[in-house]
Amino acid sequence: MEAAGKKMETFIQVNTSGERTKFGISPQEVDEFVDEVLKTKCCEFLGFMTMAPLTNEEDIIRSCFRKLREIRDRVSERLNTRLYLSMGMSNDYQIAVEEGADFLRIGRAIFGGEI
């Protein structure tokens, strides 16, 4: 991509739940990882993404989304730029919106369970 002079729009996935079944860097790794991404010439860093645990416990879901929003706010201030949040799926998108989501992944709610 660098040779072609193109950039890929990039979100950094942060594992805010601490679940081993979730991917992403830990919240403690965010600043160092962001700095490395910013050094690349082929990535346009847009913001952060996360997935909450699959649970009906709203407090747990909200805590994961709030943690990512706080990370985004801190990094946005440090970099003096607007960063976005991609969080919330079919089962928890309302909470994600309340906690500041800019992008949602709600395929199952639109298309059903079989895609």
Give pLDDT tens digits for 51-67: 999 999 999 999 999 99
Say if CB 101 and CB 68 are below 8 A apart.
no
pTM value?
Answer: 0.90
**pLDDT value for 50:** 97
Give pLDDT tens digits for 4-22: 888 899 999 999 999 999 9
Is residue 27 over pLDDT 70? yes
Give pLDDT tens digits for 35-92: 999 999 889 999 999 999 999 999 999 999 999 999 999 999 999 999 999 999 989 9
Q: Does the structural domain 8-111 have CATH classification 3.20.20.10?
A: yes
DSSP letter for each residue of 60-111: HHHHHHHHHHHHHHHHHHHHTS--EEEEEETTTHHHHHHTT-SEEE-HHHHH
DSSP letter for each residue of 12-32: EEB-SS--TTS-SB-GGGHHH
Contacts of 35 by beta carbon, 8 Å cutoff, 6+ apart? none
Give the residue extent of every domain in the chain.
8-111
